[in-house]
């Protein structure tokens, strides 16, 4: 069993995956700004090609905004069956090198190659070979990050995108993290970054000057996490059987809805979809969360935790309706969603401090 600080972890992230698949399958789209998703006035961008990103087009952006930023933007409908097919091809390549593969989504995964099937001593070479084979098999490119833990590998994979990779050697980690812009720390979003700016925290070095007590007082449990990661401490192993934490479904409507009757009809459909997913995943949960997105794109969530596990459509639906009726809506609704969490798959994870060790081959 290797020490956690002696692990060799690769984070592989496909480049603009959905859009790249569309450009590969339709060569006429290559080199052009492409958005996967609905092009209607009520549509949302699911993914954008790098050509579209140059104009500021991003995923989850309303289509009207995307078209305003990039008038020549080409919209294509999503084909998730095709994306899953390509994802499976990529997954098979991963499995050729190691069984320790933790998929995060269709287009990214962590691999622990400390002990790999080819007995390669260099994780950097393995990452290069994986990226080369992905391109040979699928015709689309991938980027990779390589280091001693998942946190640093994920940051590194974003450094030389698209179609590149970066290795952070053990002896480089602390300086790398000190020089890193706080906004590039995985898990620190815009709101948290703005709060850190108020405390004079702009990069990893600034963050490192703050005590554990200060960070815990001002950022709660996350403060302890920030204290560890800026010191290169991240224990979480690559889990081949990743534990599902939640399960849900949502619907965006072609027209805004203001009638509770229509909303309940949509919730019935969503609850039916969740019941199918529950049966497929064989899970149950205690917490039901209702997601509401209003016509002005503001989002609200309402949750209720039950004293027992549930998995049937009726209980999920009734709880969602109860949450909906807690407070009347002042605006019409463009999206409704239901999520079941606090699942019976959850396991408590304990994080320990593990100092970074130096001097083995990457």
Give the length of the chain. 362
**How many other CB atoms sit within 10 Å of the CB of residue 156?**
23
Distance from C-alpha of 353 to C-alpha of 225, rounded to nearest angstrom = 10
The CA–CA distances, whole Å, from 146 to 9, 75, 173, 236 equal: 6, 34, 11, 15
Q: Which two tokens stand for residue 207?
A: 């963050």
Distance from C-alpha of 175 to C-alpha of 182, rounded to nearest angstrom = 14
Whether the Cβ atoms of residue 109 and residue 128 lie closer than 8 Å to each other: no
Active site residue 108: yes
Q: Which two tokens stand for residue 205?
A: 């070095």
Catalytic residue among 22, 51, 102, 108: 108
- Max CA separation in the chain (angstroms): 65
Beta bridge partners of 12: 109, 144
Its sign, for the CA torsion 348, 354, 360, 362, is positive
Residue 336: name the closest of 287, 285, 301 by CA: 301
Whether the Cβ atoms of residue 142 and residue 163 lie closer than 8 Å to each other: yes
Positions marked catalytic:
108
């Amino acid at each position: 069993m290797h020490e956690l600080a002696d692990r060799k972890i690769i984070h592989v992230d496909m480049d603009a995956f959905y859009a790249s698949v569309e450009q590969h399958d339709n060569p006429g789209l290559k080199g052009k700004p492409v958005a996967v998703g609905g092009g209607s006035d009520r549509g949302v961008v699911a993914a954008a090609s790098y050509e579209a990103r140059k104009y500021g087009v991003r995923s989850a952006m309303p289509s009207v905004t995307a078209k305003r930023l990039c008038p020549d933007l080409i919209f294509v409908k999503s084909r998730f069956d095709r994306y899953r097919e390509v994802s499976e091809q990529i997954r098979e390549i991963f499995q050729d090198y190691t069984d320790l593969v933790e998929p995060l989504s269709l287009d990214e995964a962590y691999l622990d190659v400390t002990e790999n099937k080819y007995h390669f001593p260099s994780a950097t070479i393995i990452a290069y070979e994986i990226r080369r084979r992905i391109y040979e098999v699928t015709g689309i490119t991938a980027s990779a990050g390589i280091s001693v833990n998942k946190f640093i590998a994920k940051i590194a994979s974003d450094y030389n995108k698209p179609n590149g990779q970066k290795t952070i050697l053990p002896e480089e980690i602390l300086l790398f993290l000190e020089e890193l812009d706080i906004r590039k720390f995985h898990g620190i979003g815009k709101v948290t970054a703005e709060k850190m700016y108020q405390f004079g925290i702009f990069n990893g070095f600034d963050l490192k000057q703050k005590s554990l007590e200060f960070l815990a007082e001002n950022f709660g449990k996350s403060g302890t996490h920030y204290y560890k990661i800026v010191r290169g401490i991240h224990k979480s192993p690559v889990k081949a059987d990743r534990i599902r934490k939640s399960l849900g479904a949502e619907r965006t409507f072609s027209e805004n809805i203001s009638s509770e009757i229509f909303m309940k009809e949509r919730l019935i459909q969503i609850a039916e979809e969740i019941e199918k997913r529950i049966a497929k995943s064989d899970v149950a949960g205690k917490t039901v969360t209702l997601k509401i997105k209003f016509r002005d794109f503001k989002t609200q969530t309402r949750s209720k935790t039950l004293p027992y596990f549930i998995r049937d459509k009726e209980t999920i639906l009734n709880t969602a309706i109860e949450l909906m009726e807690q407070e009347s809506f002042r605006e019409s609704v463009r999206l409704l969603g239901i999520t079941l969490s606090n699942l019976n798959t959850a396991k408590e994870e304990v994080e320990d401090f593990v100092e970074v060790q130096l001097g083995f081959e990457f």
